[in-house]
Amino acid sequence: MIPAALTPVRLVGRACLRLLEGIGAVTIFAARALAGIAAHPGELARQLLHIGWLSLPVVGLTALFTGAALALQIHSGGERFQAGDVVPAIVAIGMARELGPVLGGLMVAARVASAIAAELGTMRVTEQIDALVTLSTDPVGWLVSPRVWAAILCLPFLVGIGDVIGIMGGWLVGVNALGFNSATYIANSWAYLEFWDVASGLVKGAAFGLIVALSGCWFGMHAGNGAAGVGRATTSAVVAASVGILAANFALTGLFFR
């Protein structure tokens, strides 16, 4: 008999084991997904369209408004110490390093992780995933790999385009509302932007793509029974993807810029 006083210890121990088990299972899942890159090129192309091309509007609009707001904020904040001129540089660096990848990733998480989880979850509860197995097709290779790779390949592009549009948003505000000269604004944006500012953001984008697609696929493939199970899977996927992106962003920023 284990003394009652040890109950909390047991609970913590059990939770830790569960957590490790979960991490192991997700890691194996991810490895299998990544290994299947070339298995179904047609599906990969379809997912590139779904995840990349169709996310462009939402990522572009997000970047546009973020860049514009950032310009306003930097300007009004910078004026306090007579540094309003730094707007172009800070908008460019802020978008490229941080806001482009993070907000782009979060928008894609909302749009794509939920869609993937709902689609795969529905396939799970309607036995379509079992049907794949009976048709000698590995569900991970057929469903998960194309989505994961499409997200990894697309997100850097989306982030890059978001960076450009965000900087443009800052430029629009700078030129039209803050009295900057257009040519000076563009020149200043370029002058202070370094290669690694942009490249680090693109690398982050690829990592966020992995997180988004993996969350969607994991929760979709493991959806519980019925419509409620699919709903829960969708919610969990978006929450996991969003928190995962923010945590990974912190880790990668620490890794890249310390």
Partner 1 sequence: MIEVRGLAKRFGDKTVLDGVDLTLGQGESLVVIGGSGTGKSVLLRCILGLERADAGSIMWNGAPIGPDFMDRFGMLFQNAALFDSLPIWRNVAFRLLRRMPRAQARQVALAKLARVGLGPEVADLYPAALSGGMRKRAGLARAIAADPQVIFFDEPTTGLDPIRAASINRLIREIVDETGASAITITHDMGSVRAIADRVALLDQGRIRWQGTVVQMDAAADSYLQDFIHGRAPQSQSGV
Q: Which residues bind partner 1 (CB under 8 A)?
A: 119, 122-123, 126-128, 130-131, 133-137
Q: Nearer to partner 1 by C-beta: 95 or 144?
A: 144
Q: How far is the CB of 207 from partner 1 (least distance, A)?
A: 28
Q: Nearer to partner 1 by C-beta: 4 or 135?
A: 135
For 14, 17, 137, the CA distances from 2, given in Å and listed in that order, are 15, 19, 48
Q: How far is the CB of 129 from partner 1 (least distance, A)?
A: 9
Q: Nearer to partner 1 by C-beta: 143 or 241?
A: 143
The residue count of the chain comes to 258
Q: How far is the CB of 123 from partner 1 (least distance, A)?
A: 8
Instruction: Please state, in angstroms and rounded to a whole number, the distance separating the CA atoms of residues 108 and 7.
Output: 42
Q: How far is the CB of 152 from partner 1 (least distance, A)?
A: 21
37-45, long-range: CB within 8 Å, 24+ apart, which pairs?
37/145, 37/149, 39/138, 39/141, 39/142, 39/145, 40/141, 40/142, 40/145, 40/146, 43/142, 43/146, 44/145, 44/146, 44/149, 44/150
Query: Which of 221, 214, 222 lies closest to 238, judged by CA?
Result: 214
Q: Nearer to partner 1 by C-beta: 128 or 253?
A: 128
Q: Nearer to partner 1 by C-beta: 139 or 156?
A: 139
Q: How far is the CB of 218 from partner 1 (least distance, A)?
A: 19
